[in-house]
């Protein structure tokens, strides 16, 4: 989708799939959840598909971090989100 007044494409995502720093750039893979119908009376299947990858220099990654911190602080002040008091348990793989 093109944004009004510019040539910048906008991509919807509902999940941050993966973040990797390779020593020179930060890669952020964003994903979208897709539902497909299996016919009448059947449960739809759900799958997650990569929607886009944002590749940032370290400087741009730090700028993004700072701006996200400001947004989260504003959301906390409005009571829309709250800080976790305990870190989530690490994921285990079998």
**In this predicted model, what pLDDT tens digit does every residue of 3-13 receive, in sequence order?**
566 778 889 99
CA distance 69 to 23: 23
Both structure tokens of 75: 């959301």
Across the beta sheet with 15-21, the strand order is: 15-21, 26-36, 45-56
Both structure tokens of 7: 């040539």
User: Residue 46, Cβ neighbours under 10 Å: how many?
Assistant: 9
- Write the CA distances from 25 to 8, 33, 45, 51, 81, integer angstroms: 21, 26, 35, 19, 30
Q: Is the pLDDT of residue 59 over 80?
A: yes
DSSP H or E stretch at residue 29: strand 26-36
Q: Is the pLDDT of residue 43 over 90?
A: no
What is the pLDDT at residue 38? 74
Q: Is the pTM of this model over 0.75?
A: no
Percentage of the chain exceeding pLDDT 90: 63
């Amino acid at each position: 989708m093109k944004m009004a007044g510019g040539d910048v494409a906008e991509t919807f995502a509902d999940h941050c799939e993966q973040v990797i720093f390779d020593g020179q750039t930060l890669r952020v893979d964003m994903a979208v959840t897709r539902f497909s119908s299996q016919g009448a009376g059947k449960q739809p299947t759900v799958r997650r598909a990569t929607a886009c990858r944002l590749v940032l220099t370290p400087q741009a990654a730090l700028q993004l971090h700072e701006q996200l911190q400001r947004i989260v602080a504003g959301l906390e002040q409005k009571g829309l989100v709250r800080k976790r008091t305990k870190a989530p348990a690490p994921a285990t793989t079998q």
